[in-house]
């Protein structure tokens, strides 16, 4: 079975630009969560989506947004990029809603903002 | 706001040594607790979890963790490590009142020397 997939693997953007990151969950999983992992730190929760609805949001500015599609794949959008947005962005899927279920992580997208 | 502290950033051990990684969290209500591991070149994966019941939880690969509510701690242990346990270990907490938010600690890099 395929695991969680994310695209692209790496991305370089300039300050002020916009970026879209994509995630495909494990087949049958209806929940997708997004995390930001800055070098040397643990992942920080950004969003959780379940059945196309936002079910949780971390302490991130409104420049960060996401959505989930009918096939349960998801996009994370970041507007007006700042240098501090440089990080590894992780997507995780789980069968159902909630942080209590095991989350299966993808390999991440490495975003560099110059 | 909930927070998670992992006391050691780096640990170096020899094979067959015992391992204990500390994890403390700040939230006083009902919590769900997790340890995730990231082996070199691999995705984050669940090592073990605690929701309720026996505070001594056993996970994969011989790892166990003990939930001590009075100390707000969830320390990870392994009696005898192997070279293959070289990885980064993350403690994570979901406070039930915080909904679907999963909060990670900063991680501990463990190097096991053969």
Q: Residue B6 pLDDT more than 90?
A: yes
SS3 (DSSP) at B98: helix
Residues of B with CB under 8 A from a CB of A: 1, 4, 6, 32, 36, 43-46, 49, 51, 90, 92, 94, 99-107
Mean pLDDT throughout A53-75?
A: 95
Question: What confidence tens digit (pLDDT) does each residue in A10-24 have?
Answer: 999 999 999 999 999
Q: Which of A9, A38, A24 is nearest to A93 (CA)?
A: A24
pLDDT of residue A2: 81
Beta strands in chain B (DSSP E): 4-5, 10-14, 19-21, 24-25, 31-38, 44-50, 56-58, 64-68, 73-78, 87-95, 103-104, 108-113
Q: Write the DSSP symbol of residue A103.
A: P
Residues in A closer than 8 angstroms to B104, CB to CB, are: 35, 42-45
A105 touches chain B (CB under 8 A): yes
Predicted local distance difference test score (pLDDT) of residue A40: 87
Query: What does the pLDDT read at residue B101?
Result: 83
Q: Tell me: the pLDDT tens digits for A19-50?
A: 999 999 999 999 999 999 999 899 999 999 99
| pLDDT above 80 for B22 | yes
- Look at residue B67 and tell me whether its pLDDT is greater than 80: yes
Residue A18 has a CB neighbour count (10 Å cut-off) of 11
Query: Cβ atoms within 10 A of the Cβ of A66, count?
Result: 22
Confirm if A93 and A4 have CB atoms less than 8 A apart. Answer: yes
- pLDDT tens digits for A81-114? 999 999 999 999 998 877 677 889 999 999 999 9
- Output the pLDDT for position A101: 77
Cβ distance of A98 and B43 shorter than 8 Å? no
B97 pLDDT more than 90? no
How many CB atoms lie under 10 A from the CB of residue A57?
A: 17
């Amino acid at each position: 079975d395929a695991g969680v997939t994310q695209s692209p693997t790496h991305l370089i953007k300039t300050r002020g630009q916009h970026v879209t990151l994509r995630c495909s969950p494990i087949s049958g999983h209806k929940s997708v969560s997004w995390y930001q992992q800055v070098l040397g730190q643990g992942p920080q929760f950004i969003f959780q989506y379940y059945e196309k609805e936002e079910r949780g949001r971390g302490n991130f500015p409104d420049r960060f947004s996401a959505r989930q599609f009918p096939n349960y794949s998801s996009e994370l959008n970041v507007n007006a990029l700042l240098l501090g947005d440089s990080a590894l962005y992780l997507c995780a899927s789980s069968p159902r809603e909630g942080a209590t279920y095991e989350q299966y992580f993808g390999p991440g997208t490495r975003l560099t903002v110059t | 706001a909930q927070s998670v502290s992992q006391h050691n950033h780096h640990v170096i051990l020899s094979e067959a040594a015992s391992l204990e990684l500390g994890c403390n969290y700040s939230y006083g209500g009902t919590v769900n607790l997790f340890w995730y591991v990231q082996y070199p070149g691999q995705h984050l994966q669940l090592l073990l979890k605690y929701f309720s019941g026996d505070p001594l939880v056993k996970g994969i690969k011989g790892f166990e963790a003990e939930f001590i509510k009075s100390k707000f701690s969830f320390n990870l242990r392994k009696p005898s490590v192997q070279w293959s346990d070289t990885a980064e270990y993350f403690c994570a907490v979901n406070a039930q009142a915080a909904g679907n938010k999963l909060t990670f600690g900063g991680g501990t890099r463990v190097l096991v020397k053969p």
